[in-house]
A and B are shown apart, each in its own frame.
Chain A
Amino acid sequence: QVQLVESGGGVVQPGRSLRLSCAASGFTFSSAAMHWVRQAPGKGLEWVAVISYDGTKRYYVDSVKGRFSISRDDSKNTLYVQMNSLRAEDTAVYYCARYSGTYGFDYWGQGTLVTVSS
């Protein structure tokens, strides 16, 4: 069965960096566009970034452009997001999600919490 498992979250000071990982299994990872979505405590969902199935296209929400970098390693079936210059407003649960190909995210991980605090 399809599984997405995030890791790498934790408490980090403002201005520092963190890298999140999303280990995928149960499907052909190299064929899927993958996304990161975050949710601040008590708030709604915010789309963060996408990487195309072949890694050639990457897009970001304006609030993280220049600070976050999405990548993938198909040999390891793993999605990443490198988060630099972290701010308090980046505090959230970060989910990875698979794009279904037909206008929807059909599988989501359980999320990993990132807390940016001094």
Chain B
Amino acid sequence: AIQLTQSPSSLSASVGDRVTITCRASQGIGSALAWYQQKPGKPPKLLIYDASSLQSGVPSSFSGSGSGTKFTLTISSLQPEDFATYYCQQFTGSPYTFGQGTKLDIK
């Protein structure tokens, strides 16, 4: 099974900061990767699909890049509502594994 490793596991930042979260796959997955945001008590929300495509309705401050084994999610200017946990997920085949998550909180 393909493993996804996110770094960092947690991150403290301030409103207005630029942050980057990395997701590394144990083997190449092309662009078959999504990023989600999850807030406590809520289901995940799709942010980025196909590694770099912005889901409809998601602010343009979010962007994704990468292919193969290294991917990044970047938030260009943090807003108060962006403090949440972020997950990557791969779609090359079963099991459709998630990364362990990155918790982003306010510094």
Contact = CB atoms under 8 A, between A and B. Distances in A.
A44 B53 contact: no
B59 interface: no
Contacts, number: 69
B106 to A, nearest CB: 20
B34 A104 contact: yes
Contacts of A47: 89, 95-98
B43 interface: yes
Contact of B91 (A60, A62, A95, A103): A103
A94 B12 CA distance: 29
Q: Which of B43, B44, B46, B53 counts the most chain A CB atoms within 10 A?
A: B43
A46 interface: yes
Q: Which of B38, B46, B100 has the most CB of A within 10 A?
A: B46
Interface string A93-109: 00101001011111011
B97 A100 contact: no
A103 B98 contact: no
Interface of A is mostly: strand
A88 interface: no
A35 B97 CA distance: 12
A2 interface: no
Contact of B51 (A37, A60, A103): A103
Contact of A44 (B42, B91, B100): B100
B50 A104 contact: yes
Closest 8 CB pairs of A and B: A104-B49, A59-B94, A108-B43, A104-B34, A103-B91, A45-B98, A44-B101, A47-B96
5 contacts: A45-B89, A47-B95, A47-B96, A50-B94, A104-B89
